[in-house]
Amino acid sequence: ASFPLLCFRSALLTPLIFGLLLQAPCTQPSTITQPNFVLLLADDLGIGDVGCYGNDTIRTPNIDRLAKEGVKLTQHIAAAPLCTPSRAAFLTGRYPLRSGMDATNDYRVIFWNAGSGGLPPNETTFAKILQHQGYSTGLIGKWHQGVNCESRNDHCHHPLKHGFDYFYGMPFTLISDCEPTETPEMDRAFRRKLWLSTQVIGLIALTAVLGRLTGLISVHWKTLTCLAGFSLLFFISWFSSYGFVRYWNCIMMRNHGITEQPMVMNRTTSLILRESISFIERNKHKPFLLFLSFLHSHTPLLTTEKFLGRSRHGLYGDNVEEMDWMVGQVLDAIDKEGLKDGTLVYFASDHGGWLERQEGERQLGGWNGIYKGGKAMGGWEGGIRVPGIFRWPGVLPAGRVIDEPTSLMDIYPTVVHLAGGTVPQDRVIDGRDLLPLLRGAAARSEHEFLFHYCGVHLHAVRWHQKDTGAVWKAHYVTPIFRPPGAGACYDRGFCPCFGEGVTHHEPPLLFELSQDPSEAKPLSADTEPLFDTVIRKIGRAIEEHRRTLTPVPEQLSVANVVWKPWLQPCCGTFPFCWCDKEDDN
């Protein structure tokens, strides 16, 4: 009687055991699949502008939904407080000065499409690695990493040379000069000086001519002709670039071709959204990477009529709420195609909100919550602490909040690892794979030290003391706020990195961020027993970090950022550059 019973049990257990052996372990789905990646990066968005980070007046239900369904990082740090260097670090997983994408001068971002600086061709972006892993890779929106090196069409810095199969968007960045009704934003103070110099030179030339005609001054006509010629040449030398910023910088491209020059602002949002959804639909049957690099919420705050006047924070709030709606449309497209469970979605901002950006009574920049400082400030938290949200249903726990220090540079090794690739072994990669931390397999961030640069100048260092959980931060250089106590550099519009506009601290200002995230109460040797120990520890880390740095060509040197007419992207015959191929379509 026992033999038939044994056979019966075996008949039941065998398929069960076989099925369990075949089933992939539910705790390790990332090892058996290549997820899709949708990376959403806002422009100039402050951490205090988002509902799930404490804002209760600007409505961001779709971003908040991502946080509810995924993992929210509360100490997510940009590698630089400005667009160009921060995005270079994001794309390469390396501090921007390692690739030459941070500046020794005041020109800390790429200023012209016709400059020769940009992300060097020898840098390996995560898109390039994913391309080799069989992914379709697309960039929609803002690039701001340069275009050309030596000729108008060499496109040495172009997204398609850096691992993206498809590009639609701005090779530059959105600026107020793109909107004819707005006050010019680009190099505003320098332009005022050029206008004043032109008027002074012109006035001198006119005075000399009148003096010669009335006999009050004895000057040869040849001298007067030279003076007048110099006045005209001086005017042409700068007005040929600054007088046509909208045509030179405010252009839209599809792959290598220009589609709008200048861009037509009232349809840009709908085109970017359409291109993003179309990319998802075209590539739904194979692994894809979509990097949606928003033009929101950078000035001039491009906002469609549907969202104007909807928020309680003026045009800036309207713009953020429209961006949140765009996030929702992209998430809906992922759901519609049945891709939700196989797609890792990431949302962040490239750096903190721009506190000084105002026009009269209008505040056009973002809010950084409880954190001191903002955009362009390399050390203070408000310039570099940004939203950071990951969602991957079934893999990452929903509703998880992580207070550990993380970096935008961490996206690089995280994405590369999940795609089945390997990070380059011939260079320093500063990012760390976030997956163990996101999934709860690791309790602490792999970052012990994070270095906070302003240009190439080291302003502050963060030490994550893993045994205690303390996060110490030492400031060696801080900007001088004007008016005093105002919390920003309202006299300049941007805080500087060096010179008379900064204060050097010896000993450095020290804060313990887990106790004082607003950096309101600097510690001293009298108030903190560990002060000297912490400062020595950070000092040794700086020495070790600097030993890993090697000299590289400076991409943001004055010679590289100036406008060069022979490098200007042009959809006609230079200088007659204008077209609207979207309207033709």
CB 510 within 8 A of CB 521: no
pLDDT tens-digit readout, 145-190: 999 999 999 999 999 999 999 999 999 999 999 999 888 888 888 8
Res 14: pLDDT: 42
Give yes or no: 162 in active site. no
Asked, for residue 311, whether it belongs to a domain, the answer is: yes
Res 584: pLDDT: 64
pLDDT tens-digit readout, 542-562: 999 999 999 999 999 999 999
Residues 229 and 93 in one domain: no
Report the C-alpha gap between 101 and 553 in whole angstroms: 9
pLDDT tens-digit readout, 371-380: 999 999 999 9
Residues 289 and 410 in one domain: yes
Asked, for residue 9, whether it belongs to a domain, the answer is: no
Residues 379 and 332 in one domain: yes
Q: Which of 144, 158, 298, 475 is catalytic?
A: 144
pLDDT tens-digit readout, 208-234: 888 878 888 877 888 888 988 998 999
76: helix, strand or coil: strand
Asked, for residue 46, whether it belongs to a domain, the answer is: yes
457: helix, strand or coil: strand
Lowest mean pLDDT among 192-196, 254-258, 359-363, 436-440: 359-363
36-53: average pLDDT = 98
Residues 271 and 413 in one domain: yes
Q: Which domain holds residue 234?
A: 188-242
> What band does 360 get if pLDDT is binned at 50, 70 and 90?
confident
Q: What is the pTM of this model?
A: 0.92
Q: In 3D, which of 369, 430, 373, 372 has the Cα closest to residue 405?
A: 430
Q: Which of 76, 83, 158, 447 is catalytic?
A: 83
Confidence check: pLDDT of 415 > 80: yes
449: helix, strand or coil: strand
Residues 325 and 274 in one domain: yes
Residues 279 and 130 in one domain: yes
> What band does 30 get if pLDDT is binned at 50, 70 and 90?
very low
pLDDT tens-digit readout, 7-21: 334 444 444 333 433
pLDDT tens-digit readout, 260-315: 999 999 999 999 999 999 999 999 999 999 999 999 999 999 999 999 999 999 99
CB 27 within 8 A of CB 441: no
Residues 192 and 257 in one domain: no
Residues 227 and 356 in one domain: no
Res 43: pLDDT: 98
Residues 207 and 325 in one domain: no
Give yes or no: 83 in active site. yes
Report the C-alpha gap between 463 and 445 in whole angstroms: 11
Q: Which two tokens stand for residue 414?
A: 């995280």
> What band does 585 get if pLDDT is binned at 50, 70 and 90?
low
Count of domains for the chain: 2
State the CB neighbour count (10 A cutoff) for residue 85.
32
Residues 304 and 285 in one domain: yes
